[in-house]
Structure 1
């Protein structure tokens, strides 16, 4: 099978699957749960509905509009890079394409929330479950939607011993961020790139400089 076709198809397939799963989960949570409602799956795994205006795992560093535009720019750049890789004569490892595709898919998944959700959903509150609404009647303007998060893994939920200085007696949760499937896709892609393809990235950069 032609390499350009097979690797391009692989990237498109990964992006499509991640987006379908990510959006299906988000839409179900958004239209079936109150804000901050949670379902306990195990002692260390909850489905906990929350929304955030910022980056992955609820971080809020940049203004919302700037962050959305930045995400779109990153998606365009990664898409261009993948297209360039699958078309070059030198063979590119499929695993490398998979990692990049996971990052791309996750970024697109959160962009969809930011761009569209404010316009097509009513607001989620502790007393109201959101529903689809006509465009323009949602809770926010274009590019200002909130990202839906739901996966919560409080693996260790305890208190610091009283004898410890500064934090003694305080509540401690190991891994408290709440995230979504798109965040997980981005994280898995980046971690795999760093673990398995750091040398490959260096070799690619050196070959391009020649």
Structure 2
């Protein structure tokens, strides 16, 4: 049954507020004001796919931090389970988990963010990732099924693309990488469309122009 009491999170709307216990102490959404936040859920501690994802996030930790982004994990497990799993990853894989993990036993945060997907998971959070900007707006949501691990490199690329688009008032083509040309916003009037060819962009047609940054 669909839970209509909790509205689904919406892109470009304020991210749902939370106040949650984590492995680094209590955390709220307000704690991340002025920074980008990558909030991501996983189904359960001590599971193989989740372990590969956490290792990938941990290895990319410094790259996210260099972009002004914090990492915050979540699963419907206890503090003790999180801590034991973190220690196990360090012992068995040689990777230290330096970011906090929410212990969401009540499923409060998971439900607020739509991490519980009936038909896929009723008691565990699916592989959901949320990119929240420094103003607390939800800028991107990515959901993966339980059986397929997400690409941390793609999440990082998406962060860079959003930041670059914000700074340069542009859009990004498919598989855009830093250094690639970006898309110029299409003209909004017929007169502007007629003038587009002479504006100095790499123009294929009035609606499709690119430029270097």
Q: TM-score scaled by structure 1?
A: 0.24
Larger RCO, structures 1/2 (Cα 8 Å, 6+ apart): 1
Greater strand proportion:
2
More helix by share: 1
TM-score normalised according to structure 2 size? 0.23
